[in-house]
Amino acid sequence: MSAYYIWNPYVPPDHPKTLDFVITNGDVPNGIPRSKEFIERVLKDMGIEANVASWSIEPYRTSYYSEYLDEDDWRGIWQLVWKARVVTTKEIGKLPEMRVPWIGTNATGRGYWEGPDDDAAVGCLVISDFDSEGALKKAQAAITDSDELKEMQQRYSVGAPAFSRSEVLGKYQQLQIDLGEFSGEFFAQGADYAQRVMELCQQAKGTVHFEARD
């Protein structure tokens, strides 16, 4: 087992010097280093040779990577993950081919951060994978146009979702949906807003857990 796992590294077509990916905890049960040293080692473990111009790591809760969906503890279902963005000094080019959607790393660095407390507000991230671009766009339109979701946004005092993209193994189109920040109480009570977003994704033939793909 590795200290951390890197998921679905992706270079946005319109930002060829930018790399997006998600990190989950492995042998290190919680927290993450927040230093350039850590980011540089992570890039090397991906097989990417590039100088780092800037970087960011932000915490989110998502059920997409959870191995504890059947447990009662909401912290296991809505696990804390880390969404990273790295900007390099040159175009990254084609990423190394991956046979599985994660890369293990034992990268270390200074400035270890345990992350927010259970009660603290943290971003809620819904992730869904689709077989086609058309299905992804259908799901995004349904989420954007839903009056039910707009009412939930007002109830929780959050704005419209922010959408970003990724790919899985060059085969699946991935939609990442940032719903805004929510306290631990939201997740403990079932995260109804996120659940409804996942239902809309599933209605558009998307999957909402990494093990649910064909």
Among 115, 122, 119, 135, which residue's Cα sits nearest to residue 175?
Answer: 135
Average pLDDT value for the chain = 96
The Cα–Cα gap between 118 and 139 comes to 30
pLDDT computed for residue 85 by the predictor: 97
* DSSP codes, 20-85: EEEEEESSS-S-EE-SHHHHHHHHHHHT----EEEEEEEEEEESTT-S-TTSS-HHHHSEEEEEEE
Average pLDDT rounded to a whole number, residues 138-154: 98
Which pLDDT belongs to residue 71?
86
pLDDT single digits (tens) 175-211: 999 999 999 999 999 999 999 999 999 999 999 999 9
CA distance 77 to 69: 5
The per-residue pLDDT for range 39-56, each reduced to its tens digit, is 999 999 999 999 999 999
Least confident range from 41-45, 111-115, 132-136: namely 111-115
User: What confidence tens digit (pLDDT) does each residue in 62-73 have?
Assistant: 999 999 998 889
Q: Which domains are assigned to the chain? A: 4-113 (3.30.70), 122-203 (3.30.70)
- Taking the C-alpha atoms of residue 8 and residue 101, their distance in angstroms, rounded to an integer, is 6
Please tell me the distance from the alpha carbon of residue 107 to that of residue 16, in angstroms, as a whole number: 24
144 Cα distance to chain centroid: 19
Tokens 């990724």, located at residue: 166
Please report, rounded to a whole number, the percentage of residues in the chain having pLDDT higher than 70.
Answer: 100
Residue 214, pLDDT > 80, answer: no
Provide the 10 A C-beta neighbour count for residue 186. Answer: 21
Half-sphere exposure of 212 (CA within 13 A, CB side): 20
CB under 8 Å to 34, separation ≥6 — which residues?
57, 109, 111, 112, 113
* The pLDDT of residue 1: 86
Local confidence band at 88 (pLDDT 50, 70, 90 cut-offs): very high
Query: Per-residue pLDDT averaged across 1-23, rounded?
Result: 96
Q: Averaged over 101-125, what is the pLDDT? A: 94
